[in-house]
């Protein structure tokens, strides 16, 4: 407790860190304010009925940071930007120029890569916005849907998505933490009072086992995320002795820490982004009068509504995206080259290609643990839903995973800022 109090005092006394935290708080306040401004022509009564018990809209609402539940100007949230980032990172494995831009051109290259993601997010926001508006029109959640109304609403929600994307960039640059993750985090946390009030007013003794099971799963997820996020595999590193003039340098032994889960919560976000597409397509095609399109919509609906099939796809996507994101963000060849240039080596391993292969083999083995863990806790709420027949648990489990991961990342970055202040 004393250590926690000391950290709070250090944060308050550090003007730079205090400004960053206040900037994040102000940006999230602006976000929550916009998330409560609805687009024109919303039928609030029909909207509430439409959202009740819908797992698809609940998951989509996570990405919008809670803006979709109100049909606000931020109803798309950061989903278009996340989707654009996924597409471009997939393309790095096809186009060498994109891979070079992301890995080898330093900070300038990554800024350009982020700019490409922002540009691609705009047409994706237009498509996603139109698909959602068509779905809401068919459900009766919108009072009118003329051509002019459609154009106005698409412009409003695309502008809201771009504004939110810019706000996330500002948080990452001038605040502390990852802006996109913090926006999703703020939306999940903002929904907690409503969820708790619903549990309180609908409480019945017969549901006690369900609540206890959910609390137990939440405790397991929180403990597991903390353990896996903090777990590392150290690789011993030795710096060769070098003589410069009359002084002897090197001969120091240290280690290279490889995290068991290099990707963090990103694979969960990527997998959910991909899983939203067939559900949106099914809802969009369900209004068609063509028999073939209706058949496709029915097949897609049956697949996404089958919890076992949906959960299996979810697990596989999380598993694959964990490996994919680790491969994109961590380059063993670059690490081996940097070690060789600095005169460092792994004892018993030749510098260069063999060092890269050694690091890569260890990385892929420990990533297997992280991928299985992420996939397991991602589908755990779906298993609970199948047992308890409570669809809210699937949404809560995913949200809990994101919240814990974001809080851990934020704590680490605050501690890093405090360490820099002391040095």
Q: Is pLDDT larger for residue 276 or for residue 346?
A: 346
User: For position 2, what pLDDT does the model report?
Assistant: 47
Q: Is pLDDT larger for residue 358 or for residue 145?
A: 358
Query: The domain 204-409: what is its CATH number?
Result: 1.10.3370.10
pLDDT at position 79 over 60? yes
User: For position 333, what pLDDT does the model report?
Assistant: 84
User: For position 243, what pLDDT does the model report?
Assistant: 59
Rg for the chain, CA atoms, rounded: 24
Give the span between the Cα atoms of 283 and 297, in whole angstroms.
7
* Lowest-pLDDT choice from 73-82, 131-140, 358-367: 131-140
Q: What is the mean pLDDT of the chain?
A: 78
Would you give the DSSP letter of residue 105? Answer: S
Q: Give pLDDT tens digits for 240-254.
A: 766 566 665 556 778
pLDDT at position 279 over 80? no
Residue 290: strand pairing partners? none
Q: Give pLDDT tens digits for 123-181.
A: 988 888 887 777 777 666 676 667 787 888 889 889 988 998 899 889 988 888 888 88
Task: Indicate the fold that domain 1-203 takes in CATH.
Answer: Preprotein translocase SecY subunit (1.10.3370)
User: For position 105, what pLDDT does the model report?
Assistant: 65
Is residue 111 within a helix (H) or strand (E), and if so which, with residue range? helix 106-139
User: For position 159, what pLDDT does the model report?
Assistant: 92
Q: Give pLDDT tens digits for 83-102.
A: 888 788 778 777 777 777 76
* Cβ neighbour number for residue 152 with a 10 Å cutoff: 14
Give the span between the Cα atoms of 147 and 245, in whole angstroms.
79
* Cβ neighbour number for residue 387 with a 10 Å cutoff: 11
If you average pLDDT over residues 339-364, what whole number do you get? 85
pTM: 0.75
* Pairing of β 247-249 and β 242-244: antiparallel
Where do the domains of the chain lie? Answer: 1-203, 204-409
Give the span between the Cα atoms of 92 and 155, in whole angstroms.
31
User: For position 312, what pLDDT does the model report?
Assistant: 85
If you average pLDDT over residues 53-76, what whole number do you get? 70
Q: Is pLDDT larger for residue 28 or for residue 187?
A: 28
């Amino acid at each position: 407790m004393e250590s926690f109090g000391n950290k709070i005092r250090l944060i308050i006394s550090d003007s730079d860190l205090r400004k960053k935290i206040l900037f994040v708080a102000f940006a999230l306040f602006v976000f929550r304010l916009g998330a409560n401004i609805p687009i024109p022509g919303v039928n609030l009564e029909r909207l509430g009925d439409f959202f009740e018990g819908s797992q698809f809209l609940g998951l989509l609402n996570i990405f919008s940071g809670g803006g979709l539940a109100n049909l606000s100007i931020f109803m798309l949230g950061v989903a278009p930007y996340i989707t654009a980032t996924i597409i471009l990172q997939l393309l790095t494995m096809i186009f060498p120029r994109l891979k070079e831009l992301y890995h080898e051109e330093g900070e300038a290259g990554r800024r350009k890569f982020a700019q490409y993601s922002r540009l691609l997010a705009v047409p994706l926001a237009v498509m996603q916005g139109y698909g959602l508006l068509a779905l809401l029109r068919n459900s009766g959640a919108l009072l009118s849907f003329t051509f002019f109304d459609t154009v106005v609403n698409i412009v409003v929600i695309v502008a809201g998505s771009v504004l939110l994307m810019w706000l996330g960039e500002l948080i990452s640059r001038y605040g502390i933490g990852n802006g996109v993750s913090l926006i999703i985090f703020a939306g999940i946390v903002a929904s907690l009072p409503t969820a708790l009030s619903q549990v309180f007013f609908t409480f019945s003794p017969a549901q006690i086992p369900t609540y206890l099971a959910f609390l137990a799963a939440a405790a397991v997820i929180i403990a597991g995320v903390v353990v896996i996020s903090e777990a590392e595999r150290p690789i011993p590193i030795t710096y060769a002795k070098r003589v410069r003039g009359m002084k002897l340098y090197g001969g120091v032994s240290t280690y290279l820490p490889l995290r068991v889960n290099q990707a963090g919560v990103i694979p969960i976000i990527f997998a959910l982004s991909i899983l939203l597409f067939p559900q949106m397509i099914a809802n969009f095609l369900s209004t068609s009068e063509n028999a073939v399109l209706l058949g496709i919509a029915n097949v897609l609906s049956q697949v996404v509504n089958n919890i076992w099939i949906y959960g299996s796809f979810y697990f596989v996507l999380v598993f694959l995206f964990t490996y994919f994101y680790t491969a994109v963000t961590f380059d063993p060849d670059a690490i081996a080259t940097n070690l060789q240039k600095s005169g460092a080596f792994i004892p018993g391993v030749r510098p260069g290609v063999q060092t890269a292969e050694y690091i890569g083999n260890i990385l892929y083995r420990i990533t297997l643990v992280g991928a299985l863990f992420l996939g397991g806790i991602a589908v755990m709420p779906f298993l609970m839903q199948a047992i308890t027949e409570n669809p809210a648990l699937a949404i809560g489990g995913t949200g809990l995973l994101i919240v814990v991961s974001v809080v851990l990342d934020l704590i680490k970055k605050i501690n890093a800022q405090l360490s820099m202040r002391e040095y």
